[in-house]
Amino acid sequence: MDIQLNFINRSNDANNSNIVIFQKNVATDFDELHIAWKVIRNCGQGDNHPFAYPMAMTVSSSDSYGNFMPQQDATNGQVFQVTRAPSGDVLQLTSQPGASKEVQVRNDLPQGACNATIYKGGSPLAVKTSIAPGQKAVFEFKPTVWIGVASQIEEGELMNSAVISDINTEISLLGLKSADIVMTGGGPGRLSRPFTFTLENVVMA
């Protein structure tokens, strides 16, 4: 079941800021860059923006020759491999079990690096690039999203570390069926308060 979320702008922000929502791959090192999974634009004061957080995810891979392999359904505990078939490079699910909270993508090509991307709702959620032959990408996500205000952010693109370090609101989705995410704060000049994001009208699953 997807989690139904509704962003509501109750802030004093007159700058038409962009709201960025993303997840962190907790299986990687601390300084990994993250993808802007969802960017909410032009959501004026008093406006709301409903969206769904899908529980399902898909995985895809691309190789060093610029080929992109079709997305496949992925669940925690699965291990995928990129191999060279008679027809060319393919991404396939292995019979080997992985760690219960992780999705793994292994580069089993004889040569050439590959990239692995996890998607939610058709949008890129996390990526691991330059996976060398014999190496693997590991993806693990807590049931939380990060949300904050940013500028010059494109949905589906990697955010730079300066943007990421400015976003420090983590919202737990554990057990949620639906909720409003309410933004307050902002405002002109010295009276400006920090933006805060709180859950309201929470319905548990």
Domain check: are 77 and 28 in the same one? Answer: no
Domain check: are 76 and 9 in the same one? Answer: no
pLDDT at 32: 75
Asked if 114 and 63 count as a contact pair (C-beta separation under 8 A), the reply is: yes
Residue 64 pLDDT greater than 80, yes or no = yes
Containing domain of residue 152, as a range? 3-54+142-204
* Domain endpoint, select from 139, 155, 188: 139
Q: Residue with structure tokens 């191999």?
A: 83
**What proportion of the chain, given as a percentage, has pLDDT over 90?**
85
Residue 31 pLDDT greater than 80, yes or no = no
pTM value > 0.85: yes
| DSSP state letter for 71 | P
Asked if 23 and 126 count as a contact pair (C-beta separation under 8 A), the reply is: yes
Domain check: are 62 and 11 in the same one? Answer: no
Domain check: are 154 and 131 in the same one? Answer: no
Identify which has the larger pLDDT, 175 or 1: 175
* Domain endpoint, select from 116, 139, 162: 139
Domain check: are 85 and 20 in the same one? Answer: no
Task: CATH number of the domain at 48, please.
Answer: 2.60.40
Asked if 106 and 80 count as a contact pair (C-beta separation under 8 A), the reply is: yes
Distance (Å, rounded) from C-alpha 165 to C-alpha 52? 25
**Amino acid letter for position 84:** R
Domain check: are 67 and 110 in the same one? Answer: yes
Domain check: are 133 and 61 in the same one? Answer: yes
Domain check: are 108 and 127 in the same one? Answer: yes
Average pLDDT over the chain reads: 94
Q: What is the mean pLDDT of residues 137-161?
A: 94
In total, how many domains does the chain have? 2
Q: Which phi and psi (to 5°) does residue 164 adopt?
A: -60, -40
Question: Is 137 exposed, middle or buried, given 0-12, 13-18 or 19+ CB atoms closer than 10 A?
Answer: buried
Domain check: are 135 and 149 in the same one? Answer: no
Domain check: are 167 and 188 in the same one? Answer: yes
User: Per the structure block, which two tokens stand in for 8?
Assistant: 């509501």
Asked if 177 and 170 count as a contact pair (C-beta separation under 8 A), the reply is: no
pLDDT at 30: 61
Domain check: are 115 and 159 in the same one? Answer: no
**What proportion of the chain, given as a percentage, has pLDDT over 70?**
99
Residue 33 pLDDT greater than 90, yes or no = no
Domain check: are 192 and 125 in the same one? Answer: no
* Domain endpoint, select from 139, 166, 186: 139
80 CB neighbour count, 10 Å cutoff: 25
